[in-house]
Chains A and B, each alone.
Chain A
Amino acid sequence: QEKAVSGTVTDTGGMPLPGANVIIKGTSTGTQTDFDGNFTINVSEGEILQISYIGMKTAEVTVGASSTLSIQLEEDAQNLEEVVVTALGIKREKKSLGYASQEVSGEKLAQVPVANMSDALTGTVAGLNITQSGTMGGSTNIVLRGVSSLVGNNQALIVIDGTPINNETFNQTNIGSGTGAYDYGNGLSDVNPNDIEDVNVLKGAAATALYGSRGMNGVIMITTKRGKSSEKIGVEFNSAITVGNVNKKTLPKYQNEYGGGYDGGSFYSGDIDGDGVVENNIVYTYDDASFGNRFDPNKLVYNWDSQYPQLPGYLQPTPFVAGASTPNDIWGTSTTYVNSVAFNGGSEKGNYRLSYTNFLQEGALRNNNITRNTIDFSADYNLTEKLNVFGNITYTNTRGKGRVLTGYDSRNPMQGFRQWWNMSVDMQKQKEAYELTGQNVTWNLKDWINQEVGYTDNYYFNRDHNYQTDRRNRYFGNFGLNYEINDWMSVLGRFTFDTFNELREERVAMGSSAGQGRSSHGGAGEYYFMTHTVSEYNYDLILNIDKDLNDDLNLNANVGWNLRANSRYGNDARTNGGLKIPGLYSITNTANPLTEEDINDFNIRKKVDGFFAQANLGFRRMLYVGGSIRTDRSSALPSDNNRYWYPSGSLSFVFSELLDSRETINFGKFRFNYARVGNDTDPYQLINTYVLNAKLGNSYNATAPATSNNPNLKSETMQEIEAGLEMNFFNNRLSFDVSVYNRKTFDLITNTDISGSSGFTGLWVNSGDIENKGIETRVTVVPIQTEDFRWEMTANWSKNENKVTKIFGDSEYLEMGSMWNVSVGAKLGESAGTIRGTDFQYINGQRVVGSDGKYLISESSQEVIGDANPDWIGGLNNSFTYKNFNLSFLIDIKHGGDVYSQDMAFGLATGLYPETAGLNELGIPKRDPVADNGGVILKGVKEDGSANDIRADFSTYENPYGYYGAPEAMHVYDASYIKLRNLSLSYRMPKDIFGEDSVINNMTLSFIGRNLWIIHKNLPYSDPEAGMSAGNVQGFQNGAHPTFREIGASVKIEF
């Protein structure tokens, strides 16, 4: 006889437990307790209810005559019974792990809708350093525990439900060194945050040894949501909208006293109106700098808009004033819509989940959007009691339009806005001029005679006509079988796949500036496309053993085999020397026949196979000892030396088991591990191949590559020792987790720069050794917990030190990247990320000025002027729960680390920033001649050591602040920041609002904010985090994009 039974679930102190699971044993029927710990369920007498709650021992109650129950759950002293997903998808009890890992729940990730899942991880995981390019759809750099490889991949491996995901950017040209390229983002952006159940970040080598070389930089294990066994179909609906506004602290400030010019200014003279009288007030528009004449509203001049016959203001002089609207006014709002629906269901036999997500993002610039549709299906089914079949497939279709260039390229609007600009330009007038004519009516015309474009296009024309598009179809997932041989042994066969094809197209319209694009076209336009198919297939066969050997001993072991096959093939081509027909973007619309140098054809393949075995022995759920061994064989290494072996070992000691009383210390675990991981390299790095160039006349043409391959490459090895301590106190109100590690990488495989006199400028080589050591901590405190209110605070903090300990052969320097003369790299004993360039000269720590009043520049251009590595990073998350309300916010801190700003180096020389105008200490305009008491007196001493009193001329771009007049050290800034990263306020509607019969089970409303406030930074006019792109060469800014504050709301409904 079924009847309604209601009950209350509390802890031993009488505190209600919301969200406890109540299930009728042996069925999939169940419910959850509400906020007050109450539940109601239809059940028959004699059936058993199982009541479970995280951190509590599961209770079983047999239903009797009474229709009300009161259930107290005992705290599970061992607490962390949690099972986490470890390498290769193997589920392990967290407490048995001898290495560091940190979980982040999917709910937390999905709180703030983000374009790239890794954005949501920022600041939440100790030791995880995430930097973003800051552009719509741009890539993200995800590095755990510092850089261990100099030129190879340092990005953490992303694994979704056992499927390794390609997270490469495939950005082209030297995006990492500052020359421009579109940033297409990394593959992780194809993962839908709403489909994620949880994320486990495996940090150390021991944690990831089973992934072989690919896991050496850590693994981000993503588990997607699965169907739940339930009588009815579960439906979940999420909808979110966010609106972004530019953070003005990350935009340049401009001076508004002086107009266009480089040399202090003169107007152009010429008979512009053809009346036979020469005008001496034509603004010299070719100068993309603001070291020109002082503005004077009483002076009428022929500005750019008086120089185009097609404009209404033609030949009408206007007052010589600063533009009323600056480039900062172009930034609109960005909007992001994420809508998803998911269905799930299941039975004892199996379950399924199907979700669909639509993501729409309109960027803050014109003609700038991304659309993504994701369908995710997962299912598993017990074919027999012993045989389970499962599959996951995710399909994403992404379309991008008008993505933004980063770095030094005229298609990156920030290049002009931060480095080369004329302050008399009024952006509103540029807009009107473009809208009126539809033409590239730029302020930067070469001269008034024929209105040719100089360096910079009309921004509005540029965005509307010179845009890229991309389309990507991606499939990833896995299929497999799991057979339980007996109750302690099972075998898993799995095939995982990640494959996509993508088309990227770039357009430069006829009539654009000649600097745009990838080829020389003299303003005749360009079309470029790249299409490629990228795939990775993994075949896994794993035998799993989990056996209690006796009452005290448990054995958990696996033996397995893996074969991985990667490939990327495709081609790209660009038009040669311009287009024939305007507006037609096709490779056949090339002005000249394509040559070998306009076409590229590639087919890159690699296979790696490996065997591995691992065993963990648990003693009385207290002491766990584990070890693993793996060998890989890679097709990318020399065939006589292509196999490498590597072991790991770990120890986990749950010492709290030994305590008599666990009143104060609820849980304590010490862990220790040692691991080595081998790594191979990319294909085709052994033998040099020649590049076929355009034939000259009838003569064929080929050249040796700039970077030499190396037939003697051998595998690189990383070795890590890690120790950690986890403890919980006071009913788990205080807990911490701390890890220390020492990681050494040997025989780094590097494409390193070498002296050109060798015949090559670069070389693939086992280049050296690097050491990273550091500490990672997480502390969680619950300062207040009452019946209705809970305040939880989680802090994480990590510090990593990095040092190059060996460099190959007779070489003295490992270069990672360079921008003009500034380079990032390391000498022996330095950290990888040391910035080198010209420094000041010093006497007793004081900067020395020369006879012209400018700082003297060090003789050597190889002075250490900074270090891109931060001193430490940290995050502080506060979460307040009152009844059904939750408020949480995250403060994210990066301390130390330097950035070389090419933006400041150029912008100070071109006179854009307020520092370059205004008055000097005498109250005289600093740009006035020194003879008239203009100029500046720099802080420092003269060559004889006495205090500086020499006025330095400040009237041209050769001034003492900019790149021309100052050492490179002048433009190195501290990249520290403190940010209010995320803030969310959510409200979970009490179930009784909907009533007993409501189809709605749960509804949560959230208000969210992201990147709300840069509380502190030292880099002027820009976000220190704004990087160029994912890649190793960090520490440069060049054409940095501003940061957006996003606020939004979301609703989540479960049926």
Chain B
Amino acid sequence: CTNEDYERLNVDPKNPSSVPGSFLFTNGTKSLFDQMGSTSVNRNVFRLFAQQWTECQYVTETNYDIRNRSIPSFHWNEVYSNVLYDLQQAKISVQEDINLLDGEKANQSSIITIMEVYAWQQLVDTFGDIPYTEALQGPDNTVAAYDDAATIYEDLLTRITEAYNNFDTGSAGLENDFIYDGDITKWQKLAASVKFKLAMRLADVNPSLSQQHANEAIGWGLIGSNSENLTLPYETNPTNAHPLYADLVQSGRNDFVPANTFVDYLNDLEDPRRTVFFDDNKTPYIGGVYGDFNTYTEFTHIGDVYYEPDLPGDLMDYSEISFLLAEAAERGGYNVNATAEEYYNQGITASMEYWGLSSGDISAYLAKPDVNYATASGTWKEKIGKQFWIAMYNRGFEAWNVWRKYDAPALRLPASTGNPVPLRFTYPVREYRLNEANVSAAASAIGGDAQQTPIFWDVN
């Protein structure tokens, strides 16, 4: 045998060494939806942090012990290696693909960048400082240094701006685009919305930068209806089912019930979304005691729709954009063309329409004194915060962000330990084993690797 024979022999005949970028875009994007939509206590505890759901038998996570199951490690690894790395490789494949026209390459690269920026922001919002410039280099750098979170934000704003500007509306986008079916204008709106969201996060910490980018994004045109939401069409085949299907149905477990924190607020408001959000196994609706042991049969269960395998995944929606616009209107300095109240009503309406409620229910709800923006009690943060938080029922991470940003609505302390609600994830235990010097430096840079260390934008 010659060396060439040996080299040929060492090529895996069963797995490809290169694939079109679109293949990798599918996995990177779907993995992000999967990770954010899951409620497995091994990977995603955001619905618990937001106190929308609580646990029954094992109350470790609702008491904010996330180390026990290495949840930060899982989240970190998943977003870096299954989302961001695949997206990065997708972009490289697209650039190298001789079958694509330049316009197609530009569009596909921009689409991929939108998902990348989304994922990066999500990581920063979870941990604070993270590896960014030195990340995703594979074997070339296994001990990446951490970057300052605020600096990452600024770079993300630049990247999303470039992505928007590079779109070529005259060319095709992705083949078999499972998000927007090839509609480039919807991708442009998404780019604008991702930028707007980044900008609004900076409202307290860097108002001028926030206003500059938010206004540019508003000028581009934001998501303006539920049909433009960033959603993933999950399927009935269990392999491509919504992750909740695995967690709630296929697991055969009864681990979660809606938490009293959430149920009580909705009961107070007699919110018609209760018929969707919750099962009617109990009258009246009664939530599990947050952070306590809860007997499954004694509390209101999660609504039927969340047990459906093809429940769509949702990473950004009209309701969210509407509430952010309401916030912008309240703050001033942003080029909004409606009042906070109008955006507030638009946010509630978008949420209720998303969940299929009738227009009669919606108008009746908006008319309730406790809902009506003019008559409801509290500061604008409390009013927007509460409704925003409710609207983010299927998006636990954003619901937690609402609480961190607006400090509203008021959450409870978990019954079992009374631990305070975390302001961030602690760094993965794995980083302390494998990248100790850099994680230690990051920990001191952010003021200590504690759950109560706020993310840089969380200054109020």
Chain A residues within 8 Å of B, Cβ to Cβ: 262-263, 266, 268, 270, 284, 286-287, 446-447, 449, 452-455, 513-515, 519-523, 576-577, 592-593, 595, 597-598, 601-607, 609, 633-636, 639-640, 642, 683-684, 686-704, 706, 708, 710, 753-761, 763, 765, 809-813, 815, 820-821, 823, 825, 836, 860-862, 958, 963-964
Say yes or no: A606 contacts B9, CB within 8 Å: yes
Chain B 270-300 near chain A by CB (<8 Å), digits 1 or 0:
0000000000000000000000010111000
A756-B73 contact in complex given A523-B252, A636-B10, A690-B17, C-beta closer than 8 Å: yes
Q: Which 9 A-B pairs have the closest CB atoms?
A: A514-B252, A759-B85, A520-B250, A756-B77, A577-B238, A689-B15, A635-B6, A702-B23, A757-B131
Say yes or no: B10 contacts A754, CB within 8 Å: no
Chain B 408-445 near chain A by CB (<8 Å), digits 1 or 0:
00000000100000000000111111111100000000
Is B254 located at the chain interface by the 8 A CB criterion?
yes
Chain B residues within 8 Å of A, Cβ to Cβ: 1, 3-7, 9-20, 22-24, 26-28, 30-31, 57-58, 60, 67-70, 73, 76-77, 80-82, 84-86, 88-89, 130-131, 134-139, 141-144, 174-178, 232-233, 235-240, 246, 249-254, 293, 295-297, 416, 428-437
- A603-B70 Cα distance, complex, nearest whole Å: 34
**Can you list 12 contacts pairing A with B, beta carbon distance less than 8 Å?**
A452-B252, A453-B252, A515-B251, A592-B239, A699-B175, A703-B31, A710-B139, A755-B142, A757-B130, A757-B135, A760-B81, A821-B68
Closest to A810 in B: B143
| Contact of A699 (CB < 8 Å), options: B15, B73, B176, B431 | B176
- A691-B175 Cα distance, complex, nearest whole Å: 20
| Contact of A692 (CB < 8 Å), options: B15, B177, B235, B435 | B15
Say yes or no: A759 contacts B135, CB within 8 Å: yes
A contact face: mostly helix, strand, loop, or mixed: loop
- A447-B178 Cα distance, complex, nearest whole Å: 41
Say yes or no: B237 contacts A761, CB within 8 Å: no
In whole Å, how far is B299's beta carbon from the nearest beta carbon of chain A? Answer: 12
- B23 to chain A: which residues have CB within 8 Å? 690, 692, 699-702
In whole Å, how far is B443's beta carbon from the nearest beta carbon of chain A? Answer: 11
Say yes or no: B81 contacts A699, CB within 8 Å: no
- A763 to chain B: which residues have CB within 8 Å? 138-139, 142
| Contact of B293 (CB < 8 Å), options: A263, A270, A607, A689 | A263
Say yes or no: A603 contacts B14, CB within 8 Å: yes
- B76 to chain A: which residues have CB within 8 Å? 756-757
- A701 to chain B: which residues have CB within 8 Å? 23, 26-27, 30
Say yes or no: A576 contacts B238, CB within 8 Å: yes
In whole Å, how far is A216's beta carbon from the nearest beta carbon of chain B? Answer: 21
Most buried by B among A266, A454, A592, A862: A592
Say yes or no: B434 contacts A815, CB within 8 Å: yes
Say yes or no: B139 contacts A758, CB within 8 Å: yes
- B20 to chain A: which residues have CB within 8 Å? 700
Say yes or no: A639 contacts B22, CB within 8 Å: no
- A640 to chain B: which residues have CB within 8 Å? 3
Say yes or no: B77 contacts A761, CB within 8 Å: yes
In whole Å, how far is A352's beta carbon from the nearest beta carbon of chain B? Answer: 36
A520-B251 contact in complex given A576-B237, A684-B10, A701-B30, C-beta closer than 8 Å: yes
| Contact of B19 (CB < 8 Å), options: A690, A760, A765 | A690
Say yes or no: A813 contacts B6, CB within 8 Å: no
- B434 to chain A: which residues have CB within 8 Å? 753-755, 811-813, 815
Closest to B234 in A: A696
A703-B82 contact in complex given A693-B27, A758-B136, C-beta closer than 8 Å: yes
Say yes or no: B86 contacts A703, CB within 8 Å: yes
Say yes or no: A759 contacts B293, CB within 8 Å: no
- B130 to chain A: which residues have CB within 8 Å? 757
Most buried by A among B16, B134, B142, B246: B142
Say yes or no: B136 contacts A759, CB within 8 Å: yes
Most buried by A among B60, B143, B416: B143
A697-B252 contact in complex given A702-B19, A813-B436, C-beta closer than 8 Å: no
- A593-B249 Cα distance, complex, nearest whole Å: 19
Say yes or no: B237 contacts A758, CB within 8 Å: no
| Contact of B80 (CB < 8 Å), options: A454, A639, A757 | A757
- B57 to chain A: which residues have CB within 8 Å? 262, 286-287
Say yes or no: B142 contacts A754, CB within 8 Å: yes
- A642-B2 Cα distance, complex, nearest whole Å: 11
Say yes or no: A597 contacts B239, CB within 8 Å: yes
- A640-B9 Cα distance, complex, nearest whole Å: 14
A602-B81 contact in complex given A757-B435, A811-B142, C-beta closer than 8 Å: no
Say yes or no: B4 contacts A809, CB within 8 Å: no
- A636 to chain B: which residues have CB within 8 Å? 10
- A964 to chain B: which residues have CB within 8 Å? 60, 68
- A262 to chain B: which residues have CB within 8 Å? 57-58, 293
A270-B297 contact in complex given A592-B237, A759-B81, C-beta closer than 8 Å: yes
- A708 to chain B: which residues have CB within 8 Å? 138-139
- A597 to chain B: which residues have CB within 8 Å? 239
A690-B15 contact in complex given A696-B240, A699-B176, A763-B142, C-beta closer than 8 Å: yes
- A810-B19 Cα distance, complex, nearest whole Å: 32
Say yes or no: A633 contacts B6, CB within 8 Å: yes
Say yes or no: B433 contacts A862, CB within 8 Å: yes
- B19 to chain A: which residues have CB within 8 Å? 690, 692, 700, 702
Say yes or no: A696 contacts B178, CB within 8 Å: yes
